[in-house]
Amino acid sequence: MSLSRRSFLTMLGAAAMAGPASALPMFKGEAVPFSLDWLKAEAQRLAGEDYAPMPEVPDAWKNLTYDQYKALVFNTKKALWSDTDRAFQMDFFHPGLYFPRPIEINIVEGDTARKLGFDLSLFKRYEQFPKELVDAAMAEDPMESTLGYSGLRLRHELTKPGRFEEFMVFQGASYFRAIGTGQTYGLSARGLALNTGEAEGEEFPEFTRFWVEAPSSDATTITVHALLDGPSTTGAYSFRITPGQPAHVTVEATLYPRTELTHVGLAPLTSMFLFDQTNRARFDDFREAVHDSEGLLVWNGAGEMLWRPLANPSSLQVSSFVDTNPRGFGLMQRARQSEDFADLEALYHNRPSLWITPQGDWGQGAVTLVEIPSDKEIYDNIVAYWRPRDPMAAGQGYSFAYQMAWGGEPEDTRPVSRVLNTRIGKGYDKEKPYIIMAVDFADHEAFGTKEAELEDITRFISANRGTVSDGILQRNEGTGGVRLAFKFEPGEVASAELRVQLVKDGKSLTEVWLYRWTA
């Protein structure tokens, strides 16, 4: 992936320290009419014109070091609406380094919107910033500054009255991140993915302009609209955001392609997976596991719950789960104990899962998983999205909607036993090498309470290459559920697709475990 998305996680997630209050964000220009219909018409108008990217900030700002960028943090006492009784507050990020193109932020009240001007004095310790940068920024009237913000952060009273805590960030291309109350930032989402994993390279359209509806004093939901623009398409997006545990986001979007879109990713998710018990031997690390997400969960149109443990492959691999009208999919973090990772700083056990629920019929296509080789945890190397089967033609509008739940396990899915963990390692027969696969399932009432009752459960174990044993099903006192362990003999094959499912009386008791083994 060409964009360094994880190298600035700390600066996105860190709440700014309080400083002396002075001027709050100011508006630039007069109020102008705004509506969702206008936004769609604007996106459609732009789609009929040649793509023109937003202007970049001066070179001195683009050439900031990482430490310089991180040192200039927003003063939350100067947040938008901090001097009012509104239920939400909003912070801003300055441009530069990874964010060379500023965005436009507008505030909507009623049926009109006003643009915010850039103001460097809203940031702590700006006086200690390189003098030429400060002088250039402060010499201009804040209302007429050629600089602009690179993103925005939303805060709400989540756990204590009067304490506004962050829960969502928009910054960089069409990226955004949210957390459930009490969680730590982890995986990200995007407005759109184009040509992910293709040899010619991925395209990253950008949210260039935002319109944030001013919330009331008793609001529990805040609405953000965004204009997407890129070489291949424009789009009009609306996000209705309700913080909590989980944090819910309803997304409605209409795309207006400039050119035919043959590889589109709707509701794209981006995460990091370095290692766990499936590939632990490859990493000399004191920790048990390192990942923001550990598996892809799919509730397909046929009603099956599919679980695919994530992998960190030796070469790029793409998996397609062909479907019609998927009921949901997402990247899950199921390891929830601190000792599952033994990392007292990154707090991977506290990272959110993200579940997508399509609204309406999405038709034919595939939940697509892209896994990219990685040797460091600072890089996002996992992408998952819905890829429609049919291309999107230029000159037409394509609308879609979905709901997002940032938190834990999805609600209202098929009640089957979840996969708790997957362990993979070499067997001990030196003359005939084999692999041991151990899949742990959560408890299920059909498992009964006695070991003998497990004999009534049918074990479906298959591989498209190599051979597999019948497997052994045992109770696992450590998890309270059961473990299915089996041998896999790959022979000379370089890769194989494996599938496991526990069934009783023709009824599936578990998620369908799927795994792509590679030599």
And the tokens for 471? 């497997």
Q: What is the pLDDT of residues 181-220, one digit of tens each?
A: 999 999 999 999 999 999 999 999 999 999 999 999 999 9
In whole angstroms, what is the distance from residue 498 CA to residue 467 CA?
Answer: 10
Instruction: Give me the sign of the Cα torsion angle 126, 378, 514, 388.
Output: positive
The per-residue pLDDT for range 83-112, each reduced to its tens digit, is 999 999 999 999 999 999 999 999 999 999
Q: What is the pLDDT of residue 428?
A: 79
Mean pLDDT of 243-269: 98
Residue type, 54: M
- pLDDT-derived band at 433, boundaries 50, 70, 90: confident
pTM, rounded to two decimals = 0.92
485 burial level (CB within 10 Å; 0-12, 13-18, 19+)? middle
Domain 419-518 CATH assignment equals 2.60.40.10: yes
pLDDT at site 519: 87
Handedness of CA 326, 327, 332, 335 (dihedral sign): negative
Burial class of residue 466 (count of CB atoms within 10 Å of its CB; 0-12, 13-18, 19+): middle
Range with the lowest mean pLDDT among 127-131, 174-178, 387-391? 127-131
Q: Name the 3-class secondary structure at 8.
A: coil
**Residues 439-487 pLDDT 10s:** 999 999 999 888 888 999 999 999 999 999 999 999 999 999 999 999 9
Given a cut of 70, whether residue 345 has pLDDT beyond it is yes
Percent of the chain exceeding pLDDT 90 equals 81
Give the C-alpha separation, 511 to 441, whole Å. Answer: 9
pLDDT score of 18: 32
Q: Which residues contact 188 (CB under 8 A, 6 or more apart)?
A: 5, 175, 176, 177, 269, 270, 271, 380
pLDDT number for residue 11: 41
DSSP letter for each residue of 309-342:
E----SS-EEEEEEEES--EEEEE----SGGGTT
Spatial separation of the C-alpha atoms in residues 518 and 68, rounded to whole Å = 42
Provide the pLDDT for residue 235.
98
Amino acid 142: pLDDT: 55
User: Could you state, in order of their start, the residue ranges of all structural domains in the chain?
Assistant: 265-390, 419-518
- Supply the pLDDT for residue 58: 84
SS3 445: helix
| From 325-334, 351-360, 422-431, the region with the lowest mean pLDDT | 422-431
Strand-strand pairing, 206-213 and 104-109: parallel
Residue 375 pLDDT grade (very low, low, confident, very high; cuts 50, 70, 90): very high
What is the structure's pLDDT at 451?
84
Across 30-45, average pLDDT: 97
Beta bridge partners of 438: 423, 485
Q: How many CB atoms lie within 10 A of CB 491?
A: 11
pLDDT value, residue 4: 40
How many C-beta atoms surround the C-beta of residue 427 within 10 A?
13
Q: Quick count: other Cβ atoms within 10 Å of Cβ 308?
A: 23
At which residue do the structure tokens 């059909």 appear? 446
Q: What DSSP string describes 15-63?
A: PPPP----PPP-EEEEEEE--HHHHHHHHHHHHTS---PPPPPPHHHHT
pLDDT value, residue 458 = 95
Q: Is the pLDDT of residue 411 over 50?
A: yes
What per-residue confidence (pLDDT) applies to 139?
A: 61
Mean pLDDT value across residues 173-179: 98
